[in-house]
Amino acid sequence: MDRIETMMKEFTEVAGVSGFEGDVFALLARHLAPIAGIEKDRLGSCIARLKGGTERPRVMLAAHMDEVGFMVSHFSGSFVRFNTLGGWWYPRMVALPVAIRTSKGEVPGVVATKNPYEMEEEERKGPFKAKDLYIDVGLSGGKSPESLGIRPGDPVAPRFPFTVLNGGRALMAKAWDDRAGCVMLIEVLAALAKVKKLPNAVFGVGTVQEEVGIRGAVTSGFQANPDVCIILEVDIAQDTPGSSEGSPGRLGAGVSICVYDATLIPNAKLRDHLVAVAKRKKIPFQYSAVPFGGTDGGRVHLNAAGVPTIVVAVPARHIHSAAGIICRKDFDNAVKLVTEVVKSLDAKTVAALV
């Protein structure tokens, strides 16, 4: 593995479900501390101001630190019941290896449902619901999960190893949404730190609780108070069997420039500026429109008097599961595009976006 893959392994394998992003914050801060001043807002978002640059315009680059997961709710005998944190498609949860973080350390387990060999035919057809599922931590004899230190409110994260596929062309891991954005944030700020004279002030932000209602974007957006914002995310790849021909988000086709989601209609002038930079620098890109869901941009663009905002993303297959897949080339191109765009955002250019 090269340096970036090593960093990706580090970020994807760490646990950090919504509301419990502390370990991800520590990783992000460790990588950014040599080049940026680190602050934390009162919800726990990481706000890193790049050293150097001017006072304005203020450019916010945001990636959320949390991943989808679960929280312990109560017990059914020796088994753990849970609430979901973030959007889950329930079939992806069955037989999912997980780790419960307790005050005594991690407790491994697996998400399970009623024994299918005991189900009626209609039951086997599903669909399952969260209330039908539980976590098996290997206890028997009526022993309570409390004996292992498990308590209601403990966070639960999927477990899956970072895996290099196709000779390094593709990468598989949990939590690409949005640890891909976190690594992108580090790489972009590292590249910008080498620029002798930046025409702006750059704020690299790792937000919390995006998956449960875009919450950290509100507080960190208030604290960073940007004039323009680029959200670093993953896009929903639609190049798998069953997808419509010509659907966006195809692995290897370039960085995604998102033109619509349910929470954000991006600033059209900023969109056109990104496209012009991509064409000028010969960076492959594709357009993406997602009619559901949203990103931190849905809240940041409403900050104060409004913030021109857009989402730049890496297409990812099977998001919100334990095994998503991205294309390394798409990631590298996303870093290039965001870096070049930030370098071009001087006062005149930003003023012209409104």
CA-CA distance, 311 to 295, in Å (whole number)?
8
Span 196-237, pLDDT tens digits: 999 999 999 999 999 999 999 999 999 999 999 999 999 999
Phi, psi values for residue 303, rounded to 5°: -65, 140
pTM of the predicted protein model: 0.94
Average pLDDT value over all residues in the chain: 94
CA-CA distance, 21 to 18, in Å (whole number)?
7
CA-CA distance, 143 to 59, in Å (whole number)?
54
CA-CA distance, 334 to 38, in Å (whole number)?
24
DSSP code, position 264: B
The single residue of 21, 187, 210, 233 carrying the catalytic annotation is 210
Span 162-186, pLDDT tens digits: 999 999 999 999 999 999 999 999 9
What percentage of residues in the chain have a pLDDT greater than 90?
87
Span 119-154, pLDDT tens digits: 777 777 767 777 789 999 999 988 999 999 999 999
Question: What pLDDT, on the 0 to 100 scale, is given for residue 123?
Answer: 74
In the chain, the domains with their CATH numbers are: 3-67+174-351 (3.40.630.10), 70-158 (2.40.30.40)
Token readout for 261 is 């989601």
Question: What pLDDT, on the 0 to 100 scale, is given for residue 245?
Answer: 65
Span 305-323, pLDDT tens digits: 999 999 999 999 999 999 9
Q: Would residue 210 show up in a list of annotated catalytic residues for this protein? A: yes
DSSP strands (E only) in the chain: 36-40, 46-50, 58-64, 69-76, 79-85, 97-102, 105-112, 134-136, 155-158, 163-165, 170-173, 201-207, 228-236, 255-260, 285-289, 309-317, 324-327
Q: Which residue has the tokens 């297959």?
A: 317
Expressed in angstroms, the distance from the first to the final Cα of the chain is: 43
Does the pLDDT of residue 290 top 90, yes or no? Answer: no
CA-CA distance, 217 to 303, in Å (whole number)?
9
Does the pLDDT of residue 116 top 90, yes or no? Answer: no
Question: What pLDDT, on the 0 to 100 scale, is given for residue 267?
Answer: 96
Question: What pLDDT, on the 0 to 100 scale, is given for residue 129?
Answer: 73
Question: What pLDDT, on the 0 to 100 scale, is given for residue 246?
Answer: 65
